[in-house]
A = this chain, B = another copy of it.
């Protein structure tokens, strides 16, 4: 079979890879739709994770199960499934304290197991299928479902960390596809006012579609003043960082906007040897609560199937994120190129395989 393999910084190629053997708790999945992520672009550019070198990359996909190990209980050949972006180790004892996702020994980019690779591949081995794969309900399309792996898993996990109470005001910095899902997730958690920050016409439209009550353009003026003008000077209850740019700027803006006692959660990756620098006075010199955290996408079948239930029940439709829709395995390189060129029509490139 063929897979898209990271060779070195700046170089990934399609090459023949061995068909993985399926262990007793595993499943083999043939991807039917994959999505392309900015972190793929970054990973290829930098090869920043040494364990990923020589591995197939890609981490957002839906597919069809083609084979299952003898101890797999709930999946069988023919099932439509979501492949997770974060592959947690559900056999780690810390999984029992809700920390499975921090132990990614089965993750494509981190596993020492050579059989384990990413989703840009004709076949993908899913370790511990009963715990990691998510069954797609009939009423949910592949295009909708492929957004669950990472876009919903990240955006909704981010919103969970905001600890939103009914009617509270949330700010979402950045309305790329994860930020848009953050907006939707905040609305579905009961936020009142949701102020999004972004500038591209299509994403501004989508932000409103998903529940933003206001959208502020960071190109027009200072974000903090624009938002304070909207709220009459009132601080936000919570802020989601889903933006790019300079990390300390983003955290500082978020901390300025958040109320004392408020929550700031970051769903963006900021790579390299950077530090985040936050003026202490925004924390009242260290002696007052503002709760700040990074956020990792939620993992595991239970979580992903609950996100799929939201789509199935009509609470959210992520299909408008799919832009452009490419076709065939060649679409992977095409999509990566569009992202590298920061093509203005790209929201989330997906590739239909068959």
Contact = CB atoms under 8 A, between A and B. Distances in A.
A200 interface: no
A94 B302 contact: yes
A288 interface: yes
A320 interface: no
Contact of A281 (B73, B193, B273, B302): B273
A280 B291 contact: no
Nearest to A274: B280
Contacts of A165: 97, 306
Chain B CB within 10 Å, residue with most, of A266, A295, A307, A315? A315
Given A102-B259, A189-B190, A307 B95 contact: no
A277 B277 contact: yes
A14 interface: no
A271 B285 contact: yes
Interface in A50-100: 73-74, 90-91, 93-100
B309 A247 contact: no
A220 to B, nearest CB: 23
A290 B294 contact: yes
Contact of A294 (B273, B279, B289, B305): B289
Contacts of A309: 167-169, 192-193
A20 interface: no
Given A91-B131, A96-B131, A287-B294, A310 B167 contact: yes
Given A96-B300, A277-B275, A166 B192 contact: no
B96 A302 contact: yes
A185 B166 CA distance: 9
- Copies in the assembly, this chain: 4
Given A277-B275, A280-B270, A260 B102 contact: yes
A187 interface: yes
Interface residues of A, number: 81
A144 interface: no
Interface string A254-288: 00000111000011111111111111110111111
A213 interface: yes
Contacts of A315: 187, 190, 192
A92 to B, nearest CB: 8
A266 B279 contact: no
A117 to B, nearest CB: 21
A83 to B, nearest CB: 16
A276 B283 contact: yes
Contacts of A156: 166
Contacts of A310: 166-167, 190, 192
Given A90-B91, A194-B313, 14 more contacts: A90-B96, A93-B301, A94-B302, A96-B302, A185-B190, A190-B315, A266-B283, A269-B287, A273-B281, A274-B280, A276-B283, A276-B286, A283-B293, A289-B295
